[in-house]
C-alpha cells in the first residue's frame, strides 16, 4: 500500500491493526518458533496506543501486515503524527510508547518528564529503525548529482539559489547543470528528520542554527508536512531539493544525491552504506537507555553520513501490566532477526552486531 493512501486510512479509522508475539529472544540467534507463530494466549484481544515518527511508518506498516496474518486479535493504534507530537503524547500518558527520530532531549527536560510519567521506573530510548536520510532533488537530465556538506548547507540557508552555481559545478565537474532556480523544501512540522539533518549540517557545514525538530525560522525555503508531503512536493516541483528518509525517496522514485563524508568521498545512499555510519555510533545513555551519538563527519570508507535512528520510547518499568507485556512482545519481534530482516527491502538499514544485542537486552527488561 502506498504511504499516502495508508495515512489517509489512518486519518479515517484512527488505527493500524497489528499483532505482537510473546516469546523473548535476547541473543543474536534466529527468532524462535513460538515467537514466529505468535503462540501467546495472554495477548489475545489486547490493544495499545502508540504514536510518533512518520519516518518509521513504512516499517510499522510492514510489521502490521506480517503480524496480522499470524496473530489476529491483537492491535496497535499507531498514529504517525511526527516525533515531537509522539514524545509529548507519551509524556502525557496517552500512549504506551512513542516513536521518535531523536532521543529524549535533556535541554527540554524531556527525560525527567518521561520518567515522571513512568512513576515506578524510568523511560528508555530503544533504537529500532535506522532510516538513512536522502538528499532528494528534481532536476531532469541530471542524475548522480554529488554534493559536499557545505554546498548542502548553503542551499538550505539560501546562499545558493540556482542549480548552475559555482559551488555545485565544483562538486559536479562533468555534469551539465541548468540555471533553474532552486526550490528548497523543509519539514513544516516538528520532525526528528529535521533534527538529524540539521545535526549533520551543524557538524559538517558550519550551520549557524541550533539543531532542532523545528526548522529554524531564520533559514530559507518552503515547508511541507510529513515525509509524504516532502516527497510529493519534490516530485511535483522541477528544481526542488529536500531531505527525506530513503524509504519515501524510493517509494516516490525521487532522484538521490551522493553526499561527501568526512574523508571527502562521495557516497551513494544505500542500506549498507548507511549501516556503516550506524555501526560507529556511540551509546550515550546508561543501563538500558540506548541513546546514541552519531558521527555525522565519519571518515569510514563507503559510509553515507546522513542517517537517523528511530527510537521506541517507553517505560522500562511503570506501564500497566497488560500494556507492558504487549509493548515487550511487540518490540521483541521488531528486534528479532525476522523483524529486522524485513526492513532492508523497505529502504531502512537493519540493526546489527553489538547494538542489536543491547537492544534485545533493553527490550527484555521491560516489565
**pLDDT tens sequence for the chain (367 residues):** 333 343 333 333 333 333 333 333 333 333 322 233 333 434 446 888 999 998 898 898 888 777 777 777 888 889 999 899 999 999 999 999 999 989 999 988 999 999 999 999 999 999 999 889 999 999 999 999 999 999 999 999 999 999 999 999 999 999 999 999 999 999 999 888 999 999 999 999 999 999 998 999 999 899 999 889 999 999 999 999 999 999 899 999 999 999 999 999 999 999 889 988 988 899 999 999 999 999 999 999 999 999 999 999 999 999 999 899 989 989 999 999 999 999 888 888 888 889 999 999 999 999 9
Cβ–Cβ < 8 Å for 325, 346? no
Count of other CB atoms within 10 angstroms of residue 28: 12
- Specify burial of residue 131 (Cβ count, 10 A radius: 0-12, 13-18, 19+): buried
Separation of alpha carbons 194 and 213, rounded Å: 5
Give the CA radius of gyration of the chain: 20
Q: Which residues, 6+ apart, have CB-to-CB distance to 86 below 8 Å? A: 50, 51, 52, 53, 95, 98, 99, 100, 313
Displacement of CA 34 from its chain's centroid (Å): 29
Q: Does domain 3-131+285-291+309-364 have CATH number 3.40.50.2300?
A: no
Fold adopted by 133-275: D-Maltodextrin-Binding Protein; domain 2 (3.40.190)
- 3-class SS of residue 78: strand
Identical fold for domains 3-131+285-291+309-364 and 133-275, yes or no, is yes
Report DSSP state, residue 27.
S
Q: Where are the domains of the chain?
A: 3-131+285-291+309-364, 133-275
Report DSSP state, residue 258.
E
Strands 240-245 and 123-137: antiparallel
- 3-class SS of residue 147: strand
Amino acid at each position: 500500500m502506498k504511504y499516502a493512501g495508508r495515512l489517509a486510512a489512518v486519518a479515517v479509522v484512527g488505527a493500524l491493526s497489528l499483532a505482537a508475539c510473546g516469546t523473548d529472544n535476547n541473543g543474536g540467534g534466529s527468532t524462535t518458533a513460538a515467537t514466529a507463530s505468535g503462540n501467546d494466549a495472554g495477548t489475545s484481544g489486547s490493544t495499545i496506543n502508540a504514536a510518533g515518527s512518520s519516518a518509521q511508518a513504512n516499517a510499522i506498516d510492514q510489521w502490521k501486515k506480517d503480524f496480522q496474518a499470524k496473530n489476529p486479535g491483537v492491535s496497535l493504534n499507531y498514529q504517525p503524527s511526527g516525533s515531537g507530537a509522539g514524545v509529548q503524547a507519551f509524556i502525557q500518558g496517552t500512549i504506551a510508547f512513542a516513536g521518535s527520530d531523536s532521543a529524549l532531549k535533556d535541554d527540554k527536560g524531556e527525560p525527567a518528564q518521561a520518567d515522571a510519567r513512568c512513576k515506578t521506573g524510568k523511560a528508555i530510548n530503544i533504537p529500532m529503525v535506522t532510516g538513512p536520510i536522502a538528499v532528494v532533488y528534481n532536476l531532469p537530465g541530471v542524475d548522480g548529482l554529488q554534493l559536499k556538506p557545505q554546498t548542502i548547507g548553503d542551499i538550505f540557508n539560501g546562499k545558493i539559489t540556482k542549480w548552475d552555481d559555482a559551488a555545485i559545478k565544483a562538486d559536479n565537474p562533468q555534469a551539465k547543470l541548468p540555471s533553474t532556480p532552486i526550490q528548497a523544501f523543509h519539514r513544516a512540522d516538528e520532525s526528528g528528520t529535521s533534527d538529524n539533518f540539521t545535526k549533520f549540517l551543524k557538524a559538517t557545514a558550519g550551520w549557524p542554527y541550533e539543531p532542532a525538530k523545528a526548522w529554524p525560522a531564520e533559514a530559507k525555503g518552503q515547508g511541507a508536512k510529513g515525509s509524504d508531503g516532502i516527497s510529493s512536493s519534490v516530485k511535483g516541483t522541477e528544481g526542488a531539493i529536500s531531505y527525506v528518509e530513503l524509504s519515501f525517496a524510493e517509494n516516490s522514485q525521487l532522484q538521490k544525491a551522493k553526499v561527501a563524508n568526512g574523508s571527502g568521498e562521495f557516497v551513494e545512499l544505500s542500506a549498507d552504506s548507511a549501516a556503516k555510519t550506524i555501526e560507529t555510533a556511540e551509546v550515550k545513555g546508561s543501563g538500558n537507555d540506548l541513546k546514541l551519538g552519531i558521527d555525522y563527519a565519519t571518515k569510514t570508507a563507503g559510509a553515507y553520513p546522513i542517517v537517523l535512528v528511530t527510537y521506541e520510547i517507553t517505560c522500562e518499568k511503570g506501564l500497566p501490566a497488560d500494556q507492558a507485556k504487549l509493548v515487550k512482545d511487540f518490540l521483541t519481534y521488531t528486534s528479532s532477526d525476522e523483524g529486522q530482516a524485513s526492513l532492508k527491502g523497505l529502504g531502512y538499514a537493519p540493526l546489527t552486531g553489538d547494538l542489536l544485542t543491547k537492544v534485545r537486552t533493553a527490550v527484555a527488561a521491560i516489565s
